[in-house]
């Protein structure tokens, strides 16, 4: 391998990694698309999804490896090419995240009405936030 070939391959690898890392960590738009595809019958503002994502990374997904896996999950979920490939396996990893999103909003507190706009309440985790109604 000549020096010129080595430098060319190194430059191409760095360019690919830089572009790939930009796609991985530019996941705000992908996360919004993922939630909107999962709940097409619900209406909510974009800042509801952004607040949930911020709290999810703060409480649940703190490490770099978790954020990397989450970004890869979003890429696979929002790319139309992978929809047919992951059709059988994707519900296993989607369910906890989507359930967490609905529990963190006011969807269940207002009687699961699909015609009203959903607002973000607070991140749902019994170990982090106290119970709203301890007598229930």
Confidence class for position 1, pLDDT limits 50, 70, 90: confident
Phi (first) and psi of residue 122, to 5 degrees: -165, 160
User: Which tens digits make up the pLDDT trace of 28-50?
Assistant: 778 888 888 888 888 888 888 88
Confidence class for position 18, pLDDT limits 50, 70, 90: low
Domain boundaries, the chain: 3-118
Non-local (6+) Cβ contacts of 109 within 8 A are 121
Measure the CA–CA gap between 7 and 76, rounded to whole angstroms.
32
Does the model's pTM come out above 0.75?
no
E-strand ranges in 1-136 read 43-44, 117-118
**For the chain, what percent of residues have pLDDT higher than 90?**
1
**For the chain, what percent of residues have pLDDT higher than 70?**
74
């Amino acid at each position: 391998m000549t020096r010129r070939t080595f430098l060319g391959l190194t430059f191409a690898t760095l360019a690919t990694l830089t572009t790939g890392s930009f796609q991985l960590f530019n996941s705000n738009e992908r996360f919004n698309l993922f939630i909107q595809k999962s709940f097409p019958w619900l209406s909510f503002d974009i800042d509801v999804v952004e607040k949930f994502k911020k709290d999810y990374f703060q409480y649940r997904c703190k490490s770099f490896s978790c954020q990397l896996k989450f970004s890869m999950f979003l890429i696979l979920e929002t790319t139309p090419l992978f929809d047919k490939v992951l059709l059988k396996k994707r519900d296993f990893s989607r369910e906890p995240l989507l359930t967490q999103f609905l529990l963190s909003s006011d969807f269940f507190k207002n009687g699961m009405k699909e015609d009203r706009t959903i607002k973000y309440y607070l991140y749902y985790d019994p170990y982090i936030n106290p119970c709203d109604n301890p007598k229930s």
